[in-house]
């Protein structure tokens, strides 16, 4: 639990520093304003496996967009239908988790553009009435497709890391695994994408 709290504290400091000073500093990602630029929400559909069983997860999310590229929000996931763990009839398994979400879109004004995402948070597994809390991390990468200005389709691949499980019949490695994900995103992004100014623009401003 200590390492989880420390991780969240450090991450919150880094995020607040980025939003506070992004308007004044030039970084490797270029110089742009990091103002509030949009609101997005929608649904996730995952294809993955638990132990020897292929399954689907579903969930929803809501987030705030900054600088047309950075998204900060919340999400939730769960196994679409509880199933018999490893095929045993008396071992009904269910899993759900809530996450804090970070996402970054590269060249978001392009119709198809790359994105990276990182979800982390607490979850709960249930095996035949025995419950336990776990910690989940989900890094992923893929593309977003701008279908309409208010609708995007996301296609991603990632890996789910699950830790802190104490149910003897299940190992963390059984809960962790690769996944493919399709996301339906609804919302709106206002303003224009601000590209980094060229050297000529800086010279022109200095001369003026």
* Mean pLDDT on 67-84: 95
Tell me whether residue 120 is in a domain: yes
Tell me whether residue 65 is in a domain: yes
Over 70: is that where the pLDDT of 48 sits?
yes
Tell me whether residue 171 is in a domain: yes
Over 50: is that where the pLDDT of 183 sits?
yes
Over 50: is that where the pLDDT of 62 sits?
yes
Domains of the chain: total: 1
Tell me whether residue 21 is in a domain: no
Domain holding 149, by residue range, is: 35-207
Tell me whether residue 42 is in a domain: yes
**Number of Cα atoms under 13 Å in the Cβ half of residue 120:** 13
Tell me whether residue 10 is in a domain: no
What's residue 195's pLDDT? 53
Over 60: is that where the pLDDT of 54 sits?
yes
Task: Check which CATH number belongs to the domain holding 82 and give it.
Answer: 2.40.160.20
What's residue 27's pLDDT? 39
């Amino acid at each position: 639990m200590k390492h989880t709290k420390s991780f969240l504290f450090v991450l919150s400091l880094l995020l607040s520093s980025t939003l506070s000073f992004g308007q004044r500093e030039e970084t490797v990602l270029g110089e742009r304003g990091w103002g509030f630029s949009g609101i997005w929400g929608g649904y996730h559909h995952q294809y993955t496996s638990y132990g020897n069983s292929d399954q689907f997860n579903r969930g929803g999310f809501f987030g705030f967009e900054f600088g047309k590229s950075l998204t900060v929000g919340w999400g939730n996931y769960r196994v679409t239908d509880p199933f018999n763990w490893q095929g045993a009839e008396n071992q009904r398994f269910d899993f759900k988790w809530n996450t804090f979400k970070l996402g970054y879109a590269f060249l978001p004004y392009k119709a198809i553009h790359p994105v990276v995402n990182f979800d982390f948070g607490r979850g709960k597994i249930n095996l035949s009435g025995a419950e336990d809390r776990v910690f989940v991390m989900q890094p992923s990468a893929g593309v977003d497709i701008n279908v309409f200005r208010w609708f995007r389709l996301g296609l991603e691949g990632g890996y789910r890391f699950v830790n802190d499980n104490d149910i003897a019949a299940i190992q963390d490695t059984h809960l962790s695994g690769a996944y493919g994900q399709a996301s339906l995103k609804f919302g709106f992004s206002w303003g224009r994408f601000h590209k980094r100014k060229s050297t000529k623009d800086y010279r022109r401003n200095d001369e003026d």
